[in-house]
Amino acid sequence: MKFVMTGHKGLIGSFLLKKLIERGDEPALLIDAREGMNILDLDKYELKERPDVLIHLASFCKINKIIENPDFTFENNSRGIEKIMEFCKRNKIPKIIFTSSSRILSKEKNPYTASKIYGEELVKGYSQCYGMDYVIIRPSTVYGPFNDKTKRLIDIWILNALRDEELKIYGDENKTLDFTYIDDFIDGFLIAMKEKNKSFDISSGTGTKLVYVADLIIQLAGRGKRNFYEPEIAQPQEVELDISAMVKLGFNPRNSIEDGVKKTFKWYKENFEEIQQSR
């Protein structure tokens, strides 16, 4: 299989790219802002041969930053998916895998969730009008052993604990998220991308209290402290996804939150000094 991928330098993209290459798939084009490439400049890129699929992972996903400045999501997510779909149409790419977000399933709405809903509908619209297949994938709080400059929650908490700083919880002791260890997410992604014209939620399928995760990290580090703050604007306080559609396809998350956090913490501790220097 030949593929185009955006966002291949991020957590999900790095692990997915490695897995695809290991199984013999070939990248036709890789685009990531970390390498000075911009999906808004897709018109500049020429393909020597038609790929089988485009995997669109690139996104601006920091909701608190987006609420401060909605232009982040308009420029990167909304205009980005428009450029992606035109690129697929122009190059006659027969299938797109679009990474949306599980946040669109929550009652809390914001410009980020709006951009992902728009993206899903645009993908479906192009599919019907121009004859391309699609798969929509909605991740939920993916984490793992990776120097994640996107600054995801587990990343922030582990580094703060190692620095003996606070772990901030924006909500109360009942706040939950559905955490997904990266290996499990990639397993689910590879299963889902075989399908056609369907949407899938990929997570552990279990809501976990943030206080439990914070205390686990503090225990592993032997330092750090957690504190509660007012909930952030338009951020969900209870998250637990229904992954029954994925389970029917054979998806079986193997890593408990305890195992996943321990693996991630071990990697961060071993690479702490290097990570510190890169931030």
pLDDT bucket at 175, cuts 50 / 70 / 90: very high
- On the question of pLDDT at 156 being above 90, the answer is yes
- On the question of pLDDT at 48 being above 90, the answer is no
pLDDT bucket at 158, cuts 50 / 70 / 90: very high
Q: What is d(CA 52, CA 138) in angstroms, rounded to the nearest whole number?
A: 21
Claim to verify: residue 117 and residue 174 sit in the same structural domain: no
- On the question of pLDDT at 159 being above 90, the answer is yes
Backbone angles phi, psi at 80, to 5 degrees: -60, -45
Claim to verify: residue 62 and residue 166 sit in the same structural domain: no
Asked if residue 199 belongs to a domain, the reply is no
Claim to verify: residue 2 and residue 135 sit in the same structural domain: yes
Averaged pLDDT of the chain: 96
- On the question of pLDDT at 46 being above 90, the answer is no
> Per-residue pLDDT tens for 191-216?
999 999 999 999 999 999 999 999 99
CATH (domain of 114):
3.40.50.720
Claim to verify: residue 65 and residue 169 sit in the same structural domain: no
pTM: 0.97
Claim to verify: residue 156 and residue 279 sit in the same structural domain: yes
Asked if residue 120 belongs to a domain, the reply is yes
Tell me the residue range of the domain where 20 lies. Answer: 1-139
Claim to verify: residue 26 and residue 85 sit in the same structural domain: yes
Claim to verify: residue 149 and residue 208 sit in the same structural domain: yes
Answer whether 6's CB lies under 8 Å from 32's CB: yes
pLDDT at position 174: 98
pLDDT at position 57: 98
- On the question of pLDDT at 150 being above 90, the answer is no
Residue by residue, what is the 3-state secondary structure of 53-69? EEEECCCCCCHHHHHHC
pLDDT at position 277: 87
Burial class for 124, CB neighbours closer than 10 Å (0-12, 13-18, 19+): middle
- On the question of pLDDT at 148 being above 90, the answer is no
H helix runs in the chain, sequence order? 11-22, 63-68, 71-73, 79-90, 111-130, 153-162, 182-192, 210-221, 244-248, 257-270, 272-278
> Per-residue pLDDT tens for 215-267?
999 999 999 999 999 999 999 999 999 999 999 999 999 999 999 999 999 99
> Per-residue pLDDT tens for 52-106?
999 999 999 999 999 999 999 999 999 999 999 999 999 999 999 999 999 999 9
- On the question of pLDDT at 187 being above 90, the answer is yes
